[in-house]
Each structure stands twice: as structure tokens, then as C-alpha cells.
């Protein structure tokens, strides 16, 4: 996954707030996971299948694994771009990848991924709804 050249890749711009920084002057490492969440929500919206629609079908997508690698600090008031794509759609899981740059820059500040399980209201793993798979397929994601 590369900023600027990623297949069906979605982007979200986020302005760094004071609330996101810590006394080291940089964005707090745990805050990136909020950026990732906002970015995958917008990706699903652009794909045409909002996360709320999944919930309406009784399916939730809790995170089972989260991971981030930080190489260059982001700072207050930076206008970040979160580049997001579906990395894998398996049996009962989906893996989403993220890459963070500053706007109009190609240097990657951080990368990460989250793995989500499709579960029903009883908490049991289920296959993703067909409507969801269809929306992904239409967006060029298999």
C-alpha cells in the first residue's frame, strides 16, 4: 500500500487538534486508532455501505487486532491524510490497512492495520452479509 498509488484506496483528511497531541509535542500514539476509525467509516460510506447499515442487519465488526508503526511524528495543526484500503476479506474477518501522510506530501508518517470479526448480536462469528460483499465488489474490492 503506497500513498498516492493505491488501488481502490480511500482518503480522509484530519486536522490535528491540541487534544490529539501530548507533552512530547507529537500526536499521542493511541490517537492514531481514532484516526483509523474515522477513516474506515468514511471508506465504508464511500463504498456505499455504511457501518450503520451493517448494524441494522444485526452484524457488528469489533476490532480483534490493531497495529501501528510510527516513523515520523505528526504535529499540532498538521493536515493529515489517512489512506485506507481493504487488505483482505476472509471467511468471517476483514483486514483494513492505513497509511498516514501530510497533505501534499508523500512521506509516510505512520502505517497500521486493524482486523475485524463479523459477529452477530449473540457475539458469534458470521459471514459478511451478501449486500456488503456486493458493495465491496462494485468498488473493485474482492
Under the rule (CB under 8 A), what is the footprint of a second copy?
A: 15, 17-19, 21-26, 28-31, 33-34, 37-38, 41-42, 50-52, 60, 62-71, 73, 75-77, 114
| Nearest approach, Cβ of residue 3 and a second copy (Å) | 19
| Nearest approach, Cβ of residue 18 and a second copy (Å) | 5
Nearer to a second copy, 4 or 13 (CB): 13
| Nearest approach, Cβ of residue 142 and a second copy (Å) | 26
Task: Indicate left, alpha or beta for 132 from its phi (over 0: left) and psi (-120 to 50: alpha).
Answer: alpha
| Nearest approach, Cβ of residue 15 and a second copy (Å) | 7
Nearer to a second copy, 79 or 137 (CB): 79
Amino acid at each position: 500500500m503506497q500513498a498516492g498509488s493505491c488501488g481502490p484506496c480511500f482518503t480522509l483528511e484530519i486536522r490535528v487538534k491540541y487534544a490529539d497531541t501530548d507533552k512530547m509535542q507529537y500526536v499521542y500514539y493511541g490517537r492514531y486508532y481514532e484516526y483509523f476509525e474515522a477513516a474506515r467509516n468514511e471508506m465504508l460510506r464511500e463504498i456505499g455501505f455504511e457501518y450503520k447499515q451493517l448494524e441494522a442487519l444485526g452484524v457488528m465488526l469489533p476490532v480483534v487486532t490493531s497495529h501501528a508503526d510510527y516513523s515520523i511524528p505528526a504535529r499540532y495543526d498538521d493536515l493529515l491524510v489517512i489512506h485506507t484500503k481493504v487488505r483482505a476479506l476472509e471467511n468471517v474477518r476483514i483486514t483494513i490497512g492505513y497509511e498516514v501522510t501530510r497533505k501534499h506530501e508523500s512521506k509516510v508518517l505512520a502505517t497500521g492495520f486493524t482486523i475485524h470479526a463479523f459477529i452477530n448480536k449473540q457475539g458469534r462469528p458470521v459471514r459478511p452479509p451478501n449486500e456488503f460483499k456486493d458493495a465491496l465488489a462494485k468498488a473493485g474490492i474482492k
